[in-house]
Structure formats: structure tokens, C-alpha cells
Amino acid sequence: MNKIRLSKSSISRLEKDAVCEVLDKEYLGMGEEVMKFEVAIKEYLDTKMDVVCVSTGTAALHLALSALDLENGDEILVPTITYVATFQAITALGLKPIACDVCDDTLFIDVNDAKKRITSKTRVIMPVYYASSSKGIKDVYNLAQEFNLRVVEDAAQGFGCLCDGQKIGTYGDILCFSFDGVKNITSGEGGAVLSCDKNIIERIKDARLLGVEKDSEKRFLGQRSWDFDVKFQGFRYHMSNIMAAIGLSQLSRIDEFIIKRREIARGYIKLLNDIDEIKILNFDFDDIVPYVFVIKVNNRNELRDFLMQNNIETGIHYKPNHLLTKFRTDYSLPTSEKLYNEILTLPCHFDLKFEEVIFVVEKIREFYAK
């Protein structure tokens, strides 16, 4: 049997043809395709928020924070269990990530823990969609309102999801998506920032192109600014036409992606139901589109080794950031540290076959029957 991959892109004729079309036009940088992708995202989400496409999800986070004009040493509340991108985007700007604990049943930021860590320097709270779920986001916004904080949502894993029946990307302060190779949809690499705040959006549009004023509109018309001003720090974080072409093709396939990812999750839940050693996270699978399927188990490392021997690739999302040298804290985060030994991510991607889901569960059953 071939290796069962943890995650992968799903590339059809559509993406290949779209890329060739851009190559044939010999305009590879940021131009018309990127504009079309931004419009298509806005239409798909049916949102009032503006959409700015950028080079990666990490760039989206970096740009979102940079647009807030924070000061060196300002503090950002962030769950410790997240991809290291969230923390790196914070420290890239000289800001201080304040690692917070997460909830045991969702791995979403524990708002009570976050509240304890607020100081006079706290400016932003960055909730992270864990395994695509943002259940509990209302409490984050309540806390933000009470303490006058901005909210930058790391919704890297949230594209196509709902929360309490409401589509992600239709409400909130500032929201960042990722379109990296294995996310719910991909543009090869890529990301997007969404906000209703016009000042933030204008700032990010310029900042993705080295701070060159109004260069985005020019490039969408196949032109460039030659006589321009720069007022703020900018970055080379724009999206290319090649990426946007992949993204547009993927967006046209999103309905089938959503159905399949939810089917896989429901399949796991049903089949794992009678294995006592397995705990499922408390998510609403009618709402989320699971980017990863995470279980909590005992003997995680032994199970992971056993699955690997059976050609099943698994993952650990994620090592708590406050345990890394760069982000080490002088306090412990007990729930996250406990969870770090329990979490295991099972294969979940569009091309995963149902027989493979059954095989994975059979092997887990075999492990615990030993």
C-alpha cells in the first residue's frame, strides 16, 4: 500500500490550464489575475469586507500588525498552540507575543487566561482558528471591547468555514487567510487580509508593494507608478498572477472541497466512536471545513510510530511556542503543555479515499487492542 499522506494539494486540469494561460500572457507578476482573485473571494464570501491578496498567510499577519502602528514592546495576546508563523509575525515588528493557554476541548485561545495577562502595554489579541474552528470568538471580541484591543484573527485555516452559522470573512476587525499548498484552498503559496477598516486596507495595499502609494490599482491595469511617494515601511509581499490563477481555479472547486473534508471528519468520528482511548475535539462539523483532523490520545508517540510503520503519515499541530527558545516564557501554560503530549493529526485532504480513512482507523484499533 502506498503511503497515506497527512495532507497535500489537489491539483486538476483546471489549475494547470490556468497557470499555462498566465505563462502564455508573459505577465507573471501582480496584475489582472490578482484583481480577479480578490473580487472572486469577495463575491464568494458575499462580504462587505475588502480583500487584499498577498504572498503568504504569514505576510498577511505581518502586514495586518504593521498597519496598526504599534510601538516596540507593545504586547500581543496569542495562543501558544499555533503555527510558529503567528509568533514570528509578531516579533518581526518588535512586538511582544504574550503566550496564552488554550481550551482543553477546542484548543482555541482561553479567554480567561488571556484576560489575566493584559497589561497597560496590551494592544492586540490574535485568536487562531485551530483546526479551522473559531468557536469562542465572541468571547474574544467581548474581551477586546472591554480592554480596547484590536483583534487580528489568524484565520489561516478558516477559509470556507462558518462560525455559529455565520460565514468567516463577513464580520470582525482584521482577518488573515492562508492559501499555502495544503490549506483548504491554495494559490501555491498565498494569503489575504480582510477588513472593513478602509485605513487598514489602504495601508496594506501599499505596504504589500514596498509602500509605494496606490501602486496596486496601477498594476491591476498592467501599469506602474513611477512618480510616487512612500510614507510607511513596506514589504515585497504582493501576490503574483501565477498564484492568483491557481487560487481562482481552486475557488471554483471549493464546494466539493468542503463536502469532502467534512465527510472525512464525519467518517473518522463515526469509526473512532467506540475506541475509548480516543477523544474528539468539540467542533461543529456543519460549520467548519477541517483543514486538519486532530484527536487526543494516550500513548501518542507510540501510536504515531505504529501508524508510521503502517505507512500512515500523521502530524502534531503544534508544539507550544512558549517552549521554543525564541519565545520561552517564565511561566507555564498547563493545559497546552498537557495537550502537546496528547494531540495527533490524522490524514485529511481532498484526495483521501474513504477506504484509507477506514484503514487508518483499523490500524488505530489494532494498536489499542494490543
Ligand X SMILES: *Cc1c(COP(=O)(O)O)cnc(C)c1O
SS3 209: strand
User: Shortest gap between Cβ of 101 and ligand X (angstroms)?
Assistant: 17
How far is residue 67 CA from its own chain's centroid? 19
Nearer to ligand X, 53 or 144 (CB): 53
Q: Which residue, judged by CB position, is nearest to ligand X in the bound state? A: 57
**Under 8 Å between Cβ of 102 and 88:** no
Q: What is the DSSP letter of 321?
A: G
How many other β-carbons are positioned within 10 Å of the β-carbon of residue 153? 26
Binding test (CB under 6 A) with ligand X, winner from 22, 41, 85, 348: 85
DSSP 61-100: HHHHHHTT---TT-EEEEESSS-HHHHHHHHTTT-EEEEE
Nearer to ligand X, 114 or 278 (CB): 114
User: Shortest gap between Cβ of 56 and ligand X (angstroms)?
Assistant: 3
Q: Report which secondary-structure segment, H or E, holds 122.
A: strand 122-125
How many other β-carbons are positioned within 10 Å of the β-carbon of residue 17? 11
CA-nearest of 160, 104, 93, 166 to 126 is 93
Span 25-44, contacts to ligand X by CB under 6 A = none
User: Shortest gap between Cβ of 259 and ligand X (angstroms)?
Assistant: 22
250 lies in the binding site for ligand X (CB under 6 A)? no
Binding test (CB under 6 A) with ligand X, winner from 86, 133, 195, 336: 86
168 lies in the binding site for ligand X (CB under 6 A)? no
Q: Are strands 122-125 and 75-79 parallel, antiparallel or unpaired?
A: parallel
**Under 8 Å between Cβ of 242 and 236:** no
191 lies in the binding site for ligand X (CB under 6 A)? yes
User: Shortest gap between Cβ of 84 and ligand X (angstroms)?
Assistant: 8
249 lies in the binding site for ligand X (CB under 6 A)? no
178 lies in the binding site for ligand X (CB under 6 A)? yes
User: Shortest gap between Cβ of 229 and ligand X (angstroms)?
Assistant: 29
User: Shortest gap between Cβ of 83 and ligand X (angstroms)?
Assistant: 4
Altogether, the residues listed in the chain come to a count of 370
**Under 8 Å between Cβ of 299 and 281:** no
Cell of 289: 471545513
Binding test (CB under 6 A) with ligand X, winner from 180, 206, 215, 356: 180
User: Shortest gap between Cβ of 89 and ligand X (angstroms)?
Assistant: 8
83 lies in the binding site for ligand X (CB under 6 A)? yes
Binding test (CB under 6 A) with ligand X, winner from 7, 31, 38, 57: 57
Nearer to ligand X, 150 or 183 (CB): 183
| Residue 258 amino acid letter | I
The residues that touch ligand X, with contacts defined as CB under 6 A, are 56-58, 82-83, 85-86, 128, 154, 156-157, 178, 180, 183, 191
